[in-house]
Amino acid sequence: MVGEILDAVARTAPEVRAGLPGRRAYGDEENPSGERRLAADEYADSLLEERLLALDSVGSYASEEQSGVVDDDGEYHVACDPLDGSSNLKSNNAMGTIVGVYDEPLPAGGRSLVASAFVLFGPITTMTVARDGTVTEYLLEDGERTAVTEDLALPDDPVVYGFGGRVPDWPADFAGYVESVEQELKLRYGGAMIADVNQVLTYGGIFAYPALDSAPAGKLRLQFEGNPIAHIVETAGGASSDGERSLLDVEPTDLHQRVPVHVGNESLIDRLEAALS
């Protein structure tokens, strides 16, 4: 049943991608987090909502684009970021779709995730899935999902880092940590979380959208971004943190709550937590 949800995402995301070229303009509305919505955000959200709620196993659908949860009858609750990194559409850079499949009603803690996935619209379309304790990368092509990397694991020796937010807005303890990381790793930041995290999954390293002086909870949302990406990185042998604890242990209080996100090799996350303590 979880499989049919992942299959629906694997079929729908390429359709979302195919519909992007004519939908680069901003509409008049904002999403519940106060960000301007593109025609593409609305399109991706309504297509995913329709396809996922059509499944018997889906008991509710929630997305970054809607203020409330849409309820139905079914065992699983799906939280979706229909177009992660959608501001990259204007500059034609990488972006994609994230889903978290929870067995508790939303908002739910990360330990209730039974599967998480992201579809990356890069030069090729791939889908990375964490399920049953293992991470698999699939190639999505001609309506087929083909496994290309099984038991995906973070490389032991980290190579890249990418941190969001304006540098003068970083709290002093985080800025101090960055100074040490910069001595060891190479900067890679593209402005779409899943694309930046995929660099970390591929080469090893750390991605963060940290707490900012102007926004102590950071930018990214726990249900739609923090939890699913932490689930994928932790299942691939890495670690996640809100600064103090695994993102999967952060208490869910609100559907659209934000959380500082740090994910990557365990040694780098341990050092981060020591620097922020």
Of 85, 158, 210, 226, the residue at the interface with ligand F6P (CB under 6 A) is: 85
Measuring CA to CA, how many Å separate 104 from each of 79, 100, 178, 229, 245? Answer: 11, 11, 36, 18, 21
Decide whether 29 or 141 has the Cβ nearer to ligand F6P: 29
Q: Decide: 2 and 101 in contact? Cβ < 8 Å.
A: yes
Q: Decide: 38 and 25 in contact? Cβ < 8 Å.
A: yes
Lookup: tokens for 20? 């992007």
Q: Does 192 bind ligand F6P (CB under 6 A)?
A: yes
- Residue 244 is given by DSSP the state S
x-marked contacts with ligand F6P along 140-179 as a string, rule CB under 6 A: ------------------------x---------------
- Range in contact with ligand F6P (rule: CB under 6 A) among 4-12, 113-121, 186-194, 269-277: 186-194
Q: Is 50 known to sit in a ligand binding site? A: no
Q: Is 81 known to sit in a ligand binding site? A: yes
Q: Kind and range of the H or E element at 184?
A: none
Whose CB is nearest to ligand F6P?
193
Decide whether 100 or 164 has the Cβ nearer to ligand F6P: 164
x-marked contacts with ligand F6P along 196-235 as a string, rule CB under 6 A: -------------x---------xx---------------
Decide whether 71 or 93 has the Cβ nearer to ligand F6P: 93
How would DSSP label each residue in 100-115? EEESSPSS--GGGEEE
Q: Is 87 known to sit in a ligand binding site? A: yes
Decide whether 91 or 183 has the Cβ nearer to ligand F6P: 91
- Residues marked as binding for substrate? 84-87, 189, 219
